[in-house]
Structure 1
Amino acid sequence: MTIYELECFVALARYLNFTKAAEYMHLTQPAFSRHIIFMEKELNVNLLFRNKRSVYLTAAGEAFLAEAKNILEHYHEGLSKALQAEKGNVGRIKIGMLSEQFNDLLSKSIKMFTESYPSIEVEINEYTSSSMISALKKYDIDIGFTISPGISAIDDIVWKSNMKFEQAVALPWNHPLSERDSVDIKELEDEMFIFLDPENFAIVNDVALQMCLENHFNPRVAKRATSISGLLTLVECGKGVSIIPYHFKNQFSHKVHIIKLSGQCSSVERIFAWRKNNSNPCLPLFISKLVTDN
C-alpha cells in the first residue's frame, strides 16, 4: 500500500463519490477504482459500501480513515522536516568551547541564532585547547571556539579571528613589579613560572614558552596547575608568576596582580574554527550569524 493509495481513499471518504474523487486525484474513474479495490484486498476488509446510487464508509472504513489521516499527516510532516533539514533549518549543531574564554561571544551568538532558527538544536561541550583539535578532526564537533596556536597551521581547518588577546603576567600581590602599568617580558627572565598541565593545556603552555624563547630565555617551571583557577591560586601563594591572557583580569577573584606585558610578545587570537569539508547544513547558517552579528 502506498501513500498515494491512502490519499485516494481519504479523497473518496471526503467526496463519497468515485467520479469526484477520481477528478480530485487526476485519475480516470476505472484507475481510481482499481486503487480502492487493491487496498480492500490487501487489508482483507470492505472499506466501503457502494451501489449505483450511493457510497458510504463501513465501520472498518471509518476506523481505517482515522489512521490513514494520521499516517498522511505524519508523512507530510516528516517530508517537510527532511526538506528543512536539507536546507539546514532543522537539525543540530555541535559546538566546542575553550573554557570561560568564550562565554561572552557564545551566549550572545547562540541567543541570536536560536531566535532565527528555533528548530535547530545547539549542543555545547567544553574542551581543552589540545582536545579541541582532535574533536574537530573526528567531527565530534562542528565548530570550535578556541585560540589560534595549533589550529592555524592545519590545512583542512578553516578559522576566523574574533579578537586578539593582550598577553599579561600574573604576579603575587607583594611582587616588586606589581605596581607597574606594564612589564617587559624580558624582566621575567629570572622568575620561577607556573605553567598549566601539558596534557590538557599543551597549546596554552606552548604560547607562553614561545613568548619566553622569542625574548631569549627559557622559563624555569616551578609548578604546574590543572586549571586557570588553580594556576592563579599558586601565583597568589607566591609559588611563581605566570603568562596568561589579560582578559582574565576581571574573570577571577584571586588576590593577584595581572599586568599587561610589553616587549616582543607572540600574537594570540581568539578564533572560531571548523572543518572545510563539514557537511552539516546547519553550520553555514551558524557561521553566517557569527560573522554578521559580531
Structure 2
Amino acid sequence: MDLNQLNSFLAVARTLNFSEAARQNFLSQSTVSRYIGELEKELNVKLFLRSRRDVQLTREGSAFLSYAKEAVEAIRKAEMQIRQMQQGSKGRIAITIDAVSGWFAQHCLELFVAEYPGITVDITELGGRDNQLLSDTSYDFHFMLRDMLPEREEICSILTHQDHLCLVVKKTQTQPEGEADLRKLAEEKFILLSEGESPILYMEIMDLFRSLHLSPPVMNCYDTVKTLLMGVRAGLGMTILPAQVARMYSAQEFSLIPIGGVETGLSYVMAYQKEITNPAAQLFLELVQQQAQQEDEEQYYL
C-alpha cells in the first residue's frame, strides 16, 4: 500500500468517477484503475461497485475511507515536519487582530514561538472595518469577533473561544457588589471603544442598554483599548469590555465586574484562506485548532 494508491482511492471516492479522479491527479485513467486494483488485491476486498453508469463505494470501501484520509494526512504532516526540520524551522507567518481579539492570538503565539522559535511572526492590528483585507493573501490568519466574519466561499474559519462582557471600573471608584445592574448605573459616566474601531462590540454594548430600556449614558469614545483604559484610570468614566481583553490590558487598579440580567456572551473566530500553501502557516493552524478544541472543552466543563 503506497501513497499513490491512497490518493487515487480518495480521488475516486470523492468524485465517484475514474476519469475525473485521473484528471485531478494528473494521471491516466488506466493508471488510476491499476492503483485501485492493486489496493483491492492487497486488502482482498472490493472498494468500489463499477457499472457503465456510475461508481459507488462498497461497504468495505466506505469503512476504509476514513482510515485512508487519516493515513494521507499523517504522511502530509510528517513531510511538512521534516521540511521544517531541514530548514531549521524557518519561515514566516502574518496575522491580523482586531482591537478586542488579541488575547487568544497572544496565547497561541506564545505556544507557537516556544515550539518554532525560528519562524518569524508579523502582527498587524486592523480597524473594525478593514475586514476586506481577508482577501489579501499577504496575511495568513485573521483573529476577530465572529459577527465580523464575511460569508465568502474562499474563507474558512475556526471558532476559537467564547468570552463575556464585563464592567471595568477603577478600584478607588464606587462600584456595585456582586453582578453589575446597568439599571442602577444609568446616572454613571461611561466611556467606550469607538464604533469605528470595533463596530460589533459597540453594537453589543448599545444593545445591552436598549434591552433594559435605558438610554446609553456614553460620555466619550476612544480609538484604542489603551487610551480607553487610560480614560478609566483618569476617572473619566467606567467602561464595558470583553473580560479576557480587560484582563490582558488592565493593571491591578481595575475591578472587572460581571454584568447581570442580560446576555453578554461573545464568540471569536480565526479566519484564513481555504488553500494554505505556506508550511509555517499550516503548523500554526494545527496549533490553533488544538487550542480552540481545548478551550471549548474547558468551557463545557465550567
Between the aligned residues of both structures, percent identity stands at 17
State the alpha-carbon separation in 2 of the partners of residues 204 and 253 from structure 1.
22
Query: What pairs up with 1:18-33 in 2 under 5 angstroms?
Result: none
Unaligned 5+ segments in structure 1 are: 1-80
1:105 aligns with 2:108: yes
**AA paired with 2:284?**
F
Q: For 1:163, which of 161, 164, 167 is the aligned residue? A: 161
Q: Is the 8 A contact 2:92 2:122 kept in 1?
A: no
- For the Cα contact (< 8 Å) 1:233–1:254, is it kept in 2? no
User: CA 1:127/1:251 → structure 2, altered by over 3 Å: closer, same or farther?
Assistant: closer
| Matches of 1:124 and 1:219, distance apart in 2 | 38
Distance 1:218 1:275, change over 3 A: farther
Deviations 1:46-105 (A, max 9, x none): xxxxxxxxxxxxxxxxxxxxxxxxxxxxxxxxxxx9xx69xxx97543222345423222
CA contact (8 A) 2:170 2:254 kept: yes
Whether the 8 Å contact between 2:226 and 2:249 is mirrored in structure 1 is no
Contact in 1 for aligned 2:97/2:124 (Cα 8 Å): yes
Partner of 1:126: 124
Show the counterpart of 1:206: 203
1:163, distance to aligned residue in structure 2 (A): 2.0
- Deviation of 1:131 after TM superposition, in Å, equals 5.3
Which is further off, 221-230 or 131-140? 131-140
TM-score, with structure 1 as normaliser: 0.57
* 1:94 alignment counterpart: 94
With over 3 angstroms needed to count, the CA separation of the structure-2 counterparts of 1:229 and 1:92, relative to structure 1, is closer
Q: CA deviation at 1:175?
A: 4.1
Equivalent position of 1:268 in the other structure: 266
* Offset from partner CA, 1:188-219 (integer Å, 9 cap, x none): 34433202233333333233223333333341
Partner of 1:235: 232
CA distance in 1, matches of 2:109, 2:282: 16
- CA drift of 1:243 comes to 0.8
Partner SS for 2:213 = coil
After superposition, the Cα gap between the structure-2 partners of 1:148 and 1:216, relative to the gap in structure 1 and judged at 3 Å, is farther
Give RMSD over aligned pairs. 3.3
Corresponding residue for residue 188 of structure 2: 191
User: How many angstroms apart in 2 are the aligned matches of 1:147 and 1:106?
Assistant: 18
The 1-side partners of 2:278 and 2:129 are apart by 21
Q: Which runs of 5+ in 2 are unaligned?
A: 1-79, 295-302
Higher Cα Rg: structure 1 or 2? Answer: 1
